[in-house]
Chain A
Amino acid sequence: MNKQEHKHISIGTCLKVWGFIVALVALSYVVFLLQIEPLWLRRVIFIAIALLQAVLSVTYFMQLRAERPGLVYAIVPPVSLLLALVIFGLSEGDYVWGVRQTHQWLTTGKPVIEEPDKNGGTTNPIEKGMQLAQSNGCLSCHSVTGEKIVGPSWKGLYGSPQELEGGTTVTADEAYLKESIVNPGAKIVKSFPNVMPPYKTLNEEQLDAIIAYIKSLSSGGSK
């Protein structure tokens, strides 16, 4: 009992450490205010101060020095290794940054060209619909050949009866197609997954164009 108590810090030490830590906080703030150059030196100072504060805090405030070495050596090494983890995070982030710099695939800033005509300049609604279907990724899931990809194929879709989940049947007319683009979850065709995202950004004219394109893929459509 005595031995353990003996090793706990005294009030005097505690106050001294307190003063020292306050001075360190003030020092790091002053270094920040003065914006000491170069940047790396400033950062080294910050890290050195932080480590010093951490050591003081663990040793005196958390009183690790009063504990037995068995505990000290179980706690300190793994925690110190966390710094290596942060350094790993930095180096991996730096690699990604380097890739982005050399390729500018994703650099920020406004497009350097004028916003192009979203309709691609054409006035033929079927052709416009085809472009929209391509650019909006519709054709990733809806084939135009009759093949089943993820969603129902558009070939022969327009005007055909579609059996829905739950047994009812609906005719794929304009209203149904429009609803299915804007709110795909409303009526799900049987044996297809409910996964299509709602395309609420398309305007009326664009919707009409896409539907015109779908129509053109049916024998009854105008091609």
Chain B
Amino acid sequence: MEGIILAIVLVLIVVGTTIITFVGPWGLPELASNWGSIDSMIIVTTIVTMIAFIAVNAVMAYFIYRYRHRDGRRAVYLVNDHRLEKILIIVTSIGIVFLLAPGLFVYSSFIQPPADALKLEVVSQQWAWAYRYPGADGKLGRSNIRFIDAKNSLGVDLKDPAGQDDVAISAGGTLHLPVNKPVELELRAKDVLHSFYVPQFRVKMDTVPGGITRLWFTPNKAGTFEVLCAELCGIGHYKMKSSVIVESEEEFQKWLKQQPTVSQTLGTK
């Protein structure tokens, strides 16, 4: 009796989870960047793993039903079947290579930002995000933790001419990005580990104190998205949020021009 119930329960679990996975309201949020390739990888992986999940449970349910205990029957003395084992190993290996190989190609593009990307800096601290744009010369000035003080909250090196026209958005500000233009983020952390994560862009990367990490994507939908911190950074972790506004190139430039440059805020020349 338990055998039949267990078989039914296994089938119900498989059917239920599969249906909800594909038609339920919870799933990937709408894509807003160039990383459609990651989405396709997720979908392919989902199909492959779902087939395996259904197959294993269904076959098991069938065996449970078919071979449940009956008096007088004796089990088969089957020790091994090398041919079957080989076939299963080969099929599994093919499936894994099929998933892994394209994944590695996507990953290699993930770690190689395009040369024409707009470079900007993201600075994380407990528990807020700050940003810095390179300004007219297109170059971010050097910065250093040692230079951080009351006004220079990003620690911009004021001796570096490249930093004079940078635009600093201090902690709590909003990130603006032009649509359809690749962006390369240089991620920094002032105090502990954080992680820059926008679910709609499909990418995330930790920010590490004492080092630099990088992340690139091309936002391709205008709109406002939420920046989350995905690496535990202390009590305010869940509050560490910011917004990213993706807008047209003109609107972006207009907004950028309105922001004071480093030399304006710090009064240096």
Touch A–B, Cβ below 8 Å = yes
**Residues in A lying within 8 Å of B, measured CB to CB:** 96, 99-100, 102-107, 110-113, 116, 118-120, 131-132, 134-135, 137, 139-141, 149-150, 193, 195
A134 and B172 alpha carbons, distance in the complex (Å):
11
4 smallest A-B Cβ distances: which pairs? A135-B150, A131-B150, A120-B150, A120-B151
Considering only residues 141-175 of chain B, those with a C-beta below 8 Å from chain A are 142-153, 157-159, 170-172
Cβ-defined contact, B126 with A140, below 8 A: yes
Q: Which residues of A sit under 8 angstroms from B171, Cβ to Cβ?
A: 134, 139-140
Cβ-defined contact, B144 with A134, below 8 A: no
Interface: B210 (CB within 8 A):
yes
Cβ-defined contact, B147 with A111, below 8 A: yes
Cβ-defined contact, B212 with A99, below 8 A: yes
Interface: B75 (CB within 8 A):
no
Cβ-defined contact, A96 with B149, below 8 A: no
28 A–B contacts from the bound complex (CB under 8 Å): A99-B211, A102-B212, A104-B142, A104-B144, A105-B143, A105-B145, A105-B212, A106-B144, A106-B145, A106-B210, A111-B147, A113-B157, A116-B151, A118-B149, A119-B150, A120-B150, A120-B151, A131-B151, A135-B148, A135-B151, A137-B126, A139-B172, A141-B236, A149-B127, A149-B236, A150-B127, A150-B239, A193-B235
Q: Which residue of A112, A132, A149 is within 8 Å of B159 (Cβ)?
A: A112
Considering only residues 38-86 of chain B, those with a C-beta below 8 Å from chain A are none
A112 and B148 alpha carbons, distance in the complex (Å):
13
**Residues in B lying within 8 Å of A, measured CB to CB:** 125-128, 142-153, 157-159, 170-172, 186, 188, 210-212, 235-236, 239
Cβ-defined contact, A195 with B210, below 8 A: no
A149 and B149 alpha carbons, distance in the complex (Å):
24
Q: Which residues of A sit under 8 angstroms from B143, Cβ to Cβ?
A: 105
Q: Which residues of B sit under 8 angstroms from A100, Cβ to Cβ?
A: 210-211
Q: Which residues of B sit under 8 angstroms from A107, Cβ to Cβ?
A: 144
Chain A residue at smallest Cβ distance from B157: A112
Given known contacts A100-B211, A118-B149, A135-B149, A105 and B235 CB-to-CB distance under 8 angstroms: no
A194 and B236 alpha carbons, distance in the complex (Å):
13
Q: Which residues of B sit under 8 angstroms from A116, Cβ to Cβ?
A: 149, 151-152
Q: Which residues of B sit under 8 angstroms from A118, Cβ to Cβ?
A: 149-150
Cβ-defined contact, A134 with B236, below 8 A: no
A101 to nearest B CB, angstroms? Answer: 11
A76 and B235 alpha carbons, distance in the complex (Å):
47
Cβ-defined contact, A111 with B239, below 8 A: no
Q: Which residues of A sit under 8 angstroms from B147, Cβ to Cβ?
A: 111, 113
Q: Beyond the given A112-B157, A134-B153, A135-B149, please list 8 additional residue pairs across the A-B interface where CB-CB is below 8 A.
A: A105-B145, A105-B210, A111-B146, A113-B159, A116-B149, A131-B150, A149-B127, A195-B235
Chain A residue at smallest Cβ distance from B170: A134
B262 to nearest A CB, angstroms? Answer: 13
A12 and B264 alpha carbons, distance in the complex (Å):
82
Cβ-defined contact, B150 with A132, below 8 A: yes
Q: Which residue of A106, A113, A134, A139 is within 8 Å of B158 (Cβ)?
A: A113
Of B148, B157, B212, most buried by chain A (CB within 10 Å of CB) is B212
Q: Which residue of B128, B144, B235, B236 is within 8 Å of A111 (Cβ)?
A: B144
Q: Which residues of B sit under 8 angstroms from A106, Cβ to Cβ?
A: 144-145, 210-211
A129 to nearest B CB, angstroms? Answer: 11
Cβ-defined contact, B149 with A140, below 8 A: no
A111 and B170 alpha carbons, distance in the complex (Å):
21
A140 and B124 alpha carbons, distance in the complex (Å):
11
